Amino acid sequence: MDLPPSTTGAMAASDVPLGASPGFWREAWRRFRRRKLAMAALLFVAALTLVAICAPLIVGTRPIVCQYKGRIYFPAAWYYNRDWENPIFAKDRFRGRFAENLQAKDPQSWAIWPLIYQDPYRRIRENEWPGQPANPSGAEGRPSRYNWLGTNQQGFDVLASMVHGAQTAVSVGFVSMGIAATIGITLGALAGYYGRWIDVLLSRVIEVVMCVPSLVLILALVALLDRVNNLHLMAIVGLTHWTGIARLTRAEFMKLKQMEFVAAARALGASPGRIMFTHVLRNALAPVLVPITFGIADAILIESGLSYLGFGASPPNPSWGTLLSAGRRNIEDMWWLILFPGTAIFLTVLAYNLIGEGLQEATDPRLRQDAH
């Protein structure tokens, strides 16, 4: 600092290697990649997301693509949105049974089917698919050739429910933490950057939200809504789980606002909003990502816990928690309803925790020195 400019220049020239030094994120990614477990977890989450996105292509009773009466349709899109079914199938009275109706109503038709012919919303009947028996139900529905993970009380395939339920798990995690991150980062940034009474006020708000029993909050909000859907659950989880993110953002901002680059930005005439959200946030983002990742695991836990207690999204909604709750009611003779969805929840939570920890160690400068 106190050195004359010429000396500093000479030092910089001799010490700093030529070419751009690796940026923060690249460096963090390099560190993250070194951790085998964290990478495995990242791959798991990527695979899970892929399964969630492609659920109707993996398990379903509707063709992915079919040609019917000379035109091409995508009946599997129905699983994403009920309105995306072409009216022609309603007009021709398909009633969701494509396998038998396609051939019967248009012998020229062809179709590409999902990998497994099972449905999360109904029971498969005998010979609906050539040679496939009807789904067993109740205690008869143990895992078999046709129902790899068994069937539930009503004879719905468990594997189908779990694959389609992955959509719930993945989207609940991302959407609710998106909401929580938006609230938490904004409030934390304001409190940390401005300090004084804004900080006092916002810190109180954070403390109150932290201390309000989240169960009351969630059950009250669920009771207020008539028909709960997954979006409601995501909003509720997001609105109640931003405090950790806010507190961390606040601490980071308090630290960073003392740095020279903030003073420099201010001297250049940047607006507070610009300083906060382009200059400071950029540097605070890495530590803030850690509670967000752990938050995703939490959100998945809460969603499955709520579904398990019977406060989840209204049926018919394939969710891992709903399967578990059916398993609990039939614990004496339907173990497959507990073992498989329980493992899915466990692995997903574990994966997000591992990623969070990997991120923490890859981005925390205090821990970084130990790696060398």
Query: CB 70 → other proteins: shortest distance, Å?
Result: 51
Per CB under 8 A, 72 contacts other proteins: no
Among 84, 207, 259, 329, binds other proteins (CB under 8 A): 207
Per CB under 8 A, 342 contacts other proteins: yes
Tokens of residue 118, six digits: 């099972």
* Segment near other proteins (CB under 8 A); pick from 43-51, 143-151, 159-167, 298-306: 298-306
Among 12, 20, 216, 267, binds other proteins (CB under 8 A): 216
Per CB under 8 A, 136 contacts other proteins: no
C-alpha span between 59 and 121 (Å, rounded):
11
Among 1, 20, 224, 268, binds other proteins (CB under 8 A): 224
List all residues 6 or more positions away from 189 whose beta carbon is below 8 Å from its beta carbon: 249, 250, 253, 276, 277, 280, 281, 284
Query: CB 342 → other proteins: shortest distance, Å?
Result: 4
C-alpha span between 122 and 135 (Å, rounded):
10
C-alpha span between 39 and 167 (Å, rounded):
22
Among 178, 339, 364, 368, binds other proteins (CB under 8 A): 339
* Segment near other proteins (CB under 8 A); pick from 138-146, 207-215, 251-259, 283-291: 207-215
Residue 92: how many CB atoms within 10 A of its CB? 15
Size of the site for other proteins (CB under 8 A): 34
Per CB under 8 A, 140 contacts other proteins: no
C-alpha span between 171 and 120 (Å, rounded):
18
* Segment near other proteins (CB under 8 A); pick from 48-56, 63-71, 273-281, 324-332: 324-332
Per CB under 8 A, 212 contacts other proteins: yes
Is residue 280 within 8 Å of residue 257, measured between CB atoms? yes
Spell out the long-range contacts of 266-274 with Cβ–Cβ below 8 A and sequence spacing 24 or more: 272/193, 272/194
Of residues 66, 31, 204, 70, the one with CA closest to residue 78: 66
Q: Which residue has the tokens 């997301």?
A: 49
Among 51, 324, 326, 359, binds other proteins (CB under 8 A): 324
Query: CB 236 → other proteins: shortest distance, Å?
Result: 12
C-alpha span between 341 and 149 (Å, rounded):
10
In the shown chain, the binding pattern of residues 159 to 198 toward other proteins, with x for contact by CB under 8 A and - for none, equals: ----------------------------------------
Tokens of residue 64, six digits: 């992915």
Among 11, 90, 134, 208, binds other proteins (CB under 8 A): 208
Among 12, 13, 20, 211, binds other proteins (CB under 8 A): 211
Per CB under 8 A, 308 contacts other proteins: yes
C-alpha span between 162 and 149 (Å, rounded):
9
DSSP string computed for 108-173: T-EEE--SEE--SSSPPPTTSSTTPPPPP-GGG--S-SSSTT-B-TTS-BHHHHHHHHHHHHHHHH
C-alpha span between 43 and 47 (Å, rounded):
6
List all residues 6 or more positions away from 133 whose beta carbon is below 8 Å from its beta carbon: 126, 127, 146
Per CB under 8 A, 318 contacts other proteins: no
Looking at the Cβ atoms of 155 and 327, the one nearer to other proteins is 327
Query: CB 279 → other proteins: shortest distance, Å?
Result: 31
Of residues 153, 147, 115, the one with CA closest to residue 134: 147
Per CB under 8 A, 355 contacts other proteins: no
Looking at the Cβ atoms of 228 and 297, the one nearer to other proteins is 297
* Segment near other proteins (CB under 8 A); pick from 154-162, 166-174, 282-290, 329-337: 329-337
Which residues form the interface with other proteins (CB under 8 A)?
A: 204, 207-208, 211-213, 215-217, 219-221, 223-224, 297, 301, 304-305, 308-309, 324, 327-328, 331-332, 335, 338-339, 342, 345-346, 349-350, 353
